[in-house]
Every structure is written in structure tokens, then in C-alpha cells.
């Protein structure tokens, strides 16, 4: 039997999560339901017995990450939120998965199965949680929050063809040629992106392999990248030093 703690301040969302959990795992036990950062800190400071925590990220009195900054909880957490901008924070705070609202039963079941699989894989000591979190922390983003005017838009990473910087502003271009603004620099983005899909071509560009049509020699020792989207006319040059790594990346894709 799995014993869970739920941290959620929206009444309807709480009830829906409980109903879905009981559908996918009928014998699940709900040890406690908590509705705020303050209440959660007080409760978790008592060293409660539970196997897993399901926690909304954005609570009325702050982000749930604060809870884990003020407690010594070693219980793995599945974070739930309407946005994925906090994904890297989640995996720094006992997170083993990150689900977007509205949560589908299939995704909930996958997250629980992941927990059970990882629990079996690691030892039963405190080292189990440390190893589990280290294993999960390498998970890469699948979506990125970008801006267009006053609007915030969540783009799937497999829809993004190119990141580039111009006049100290980072732009994101999707597979239809539309351009957006990013809030992070290329170095930070490079650390978060899946390096099997994205390559830092040079100081100005990060390219998505799914939209690289090919490449050819340039000035004998360099390479020039050709993109498969006609609207993107950027001249992306790979230096002599970077060319071997780029070729390897392309060949191993």
C-alpha cells in the first residue's frame, strides 16, 4: 500500500486528484491533505510517515519549493502545476516527476509506476532517495515558456527550430518561422536542453537537429549549416574547433 501526502490549495483540484489516484491505485492511502506553504512546513516538520508527496507548485502563500527549503523531508515528490517553467526547481527539491495540469490518469499512473520502479532499483537506506534524485535530476525540459508581446506561450521543444541571440536579446524560432522572446541566455538554455536534440553551434546559435537539412564545407576548415525551414535564412557557421563535435552529433542522431 502506498501512503501519500497531497499539497494542493484548490478544493476542486484536490478532490479531482484524490479521485484519479484512487482510480489508478485503489489501495492508496492519503495520510494528509495540506493547503498552504505554512501548513505544510508545520506538518512535515513533525517527520510524518508517508511514501510519496503530490504537491502543487503554486500555492496561495508562495511556491511549494519553500516547504522543502525549511524542512528535512526525504520523501520523494511528484510536482503538479499548470506551467513547466519551474521544472528545474522541481528536481532540486526531491522531485521525481513533474506533471502538467490538467493531470491525465495515464500520466499519474506512469509517475506512480516510475516511483515504484526506482524504489525497487535503489537500496532502502537514506542513500536510496539521494541516488533516486540524482538519477532523476538529469531529466531535460520538454517545453519552454516564451513571450510574444504581453502573451506567455508554452512551446514544445520539438517545435523549436532555433535559438539565437541578437543585440543581447535571445530569440526563439519555431518550425513555422514564428519568432518569440526567451527569458534566459543561451548558456542557461544549453544546460537545460537535451543535447541529443540541440547543439550549440557557436556563441550566437543553438540548433535543433530535426530542422537541420545538412551542412557543407565553408572556408575549407569550417562548416555552414543548412536548415530545412525556408523562412529561416540565418547563416550558421561551425568553427574548425567545433566541427568534429558537430559531425559526431549529426552522425549519432
- 50's grid cell: 508517508
- 8's grid cell: 494542493
pLDDT band at 48 (very low <50, low <70, confident <90, very high): confident
Distance CA 215, CA 227 (A): 9
79-126 pLDDT tens trace:
988 766 555 555 565 678 888 888 889 989 998 888 888 776 554 445
Non-local (6+) Cβ contacts of 79 within 8 A are 55, 56, 57, 64, 86, 90, 95, 97, 98, 99
At the top level of CATH, the class of 143-251 is: mainly beta
Average pLDDT over residues 182-209: 93
Task: Give yes or no for residue 136 having a pLDDT over 80.
Answer: no
206-246 pLDDT tens trace:
999 999 999 999 988 899 999 999 888 899 999 999 999 99
> Which CATH entry fits the domain spanning 3-136: 3.60.60.10, 1.10.3720.10, 3.40.50.2300, 3.40.109.10?
3.40.50.2300
Task: Give yes or no for residue 149 having a pLDDT over 80.
Answer: yes
The structural domains of the chain, with segments of one domain joined by +, span 3-136, 143-251
pLDDT in the model for residue 87: 59
Task: Give yes or no for residue 38 having a pLDDT over 50.
Answer: yes
pLDDT in the model for residue 174: 95
DSSP string, the chain: --EEEEE---HHHHHHHHHHHHHH-TT-EEEEEE-SHHHHHHHHTT----SEEEEESEETTEETHHHHHSS-----EEEEES-STTHHHHTTTTEEEEEESSPPHHHHHHHHHHHHHHHHHS-SSHHHHHHHHHHHTTPPPSEEEEEETTEEEEEEGGGEEEEEEETTEEEEEETTS-EEE-SS-HHHHHHHS-TTTEEE-SSSEEEEGGGEEEEEEETTTEEEEEES-TT----EEEPTTTHHHHHHHHHT-
* 23-37, 111-125, 186-200: range with lowest mean pLDDT: 111-125
pLDDT in the model for residue 123: 45
The mean pLDDT value of the chain amounts to 86
pLDDT band at 160 (very low <50, low <70, confident <90, very high): very high
Task: Specify the length of the chain in residues.
Answer: 253
Taking the model in full, what pTM does it have? 0.49
Question: Using CA of residue 115, residue 118, residue 120, residue 126, what is the dihedral sign?
Answer: negative
* 124-133, 153-162, 209-218: range with lowest mean pLDDT: 124-133
- 60's grid cell: 496561495
pLDDT in the model for residue 191: 87
Question: Using CA of residue 55, residue 61, residue 66, residue 70, what is the dihedral sign?
Answer: negative
The share of the chain scoring above pLDDT 70, in percent, equals 87
Q: Are 50 and 31 in contact (CB under 8 A)?
A: yes
- Beta bridge partners, 151, equal 148
Amino acid at each position: 500500500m502506498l501512503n501519500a501526502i497531497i499539497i494542493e490549495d484548490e478544493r476542486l483540484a484536490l478532490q479531482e486528484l484524490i479521485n484519479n489516484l484512487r482510480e489508478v491505485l485503489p489501495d492508496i492511502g492519503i495520510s494528509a491533505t495540506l493547503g498552504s506553504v505554512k501548513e505544510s512546513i508545520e506538518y512535515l516538520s513533525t517527520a510524518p510517515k508517508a511514501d510519496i508527496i503530490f504537491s502543487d507548485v503554486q500555492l496561495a502563500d508562495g511556491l511549494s519549493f519553500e516547504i522543502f527549503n525549511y524542512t528535512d523531508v526525504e520523501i520523494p515528490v511528484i510536482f503538479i502545476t499548470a506551467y513547466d517553467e519551474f521544472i528545474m526547481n522541481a528536481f532540486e527539491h526531491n522531485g521525481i516527476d513533474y506533471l502538467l495540469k490538467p493531470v491525465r490518469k495515464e500520466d499519474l499512473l506512469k509517475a506512480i509506476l516510475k516511483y515504484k520502479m526506482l524504489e525497487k532499483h535503489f537500496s532502502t537506506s537514506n542513500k536510496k532517495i539521494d541516488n533516486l534524485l540524482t538519477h532523476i535530476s538529469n531529466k531535460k525540459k520538454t517545453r519552454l515558456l516564451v513571450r510574444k508581446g504581453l502573451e506567455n506561450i508554452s512551446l514544445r521543444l520539438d517545435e523549436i527550430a532555433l535559438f539565437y541571440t541578437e543585440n543581447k536579446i535571445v530569440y526563439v524560432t519555431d518550425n513555422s518561422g514564428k519568432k518569440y522572446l526567451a527569458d534566459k541566455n543561451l548558456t542557461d538554455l544549453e544546460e537545460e536542453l537535451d543535447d541529443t536534440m540541440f547543439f550549440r553551434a557557436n556563441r550566437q546559435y543553438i540548433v535543433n537537429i530535426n530542422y537541420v537539412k545538412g551542412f557543407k564545407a565553408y572556408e575549407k576548415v569550417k562548416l555552414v549549416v543548412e536548415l530545412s525551414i525556408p523562412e529561416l535564412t540565418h547563416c550558421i557557421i561551425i568553427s574548425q574547433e567545433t566541427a568534429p563535435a558537430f559531425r559526431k552529433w549529426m552522425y549519432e542522431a
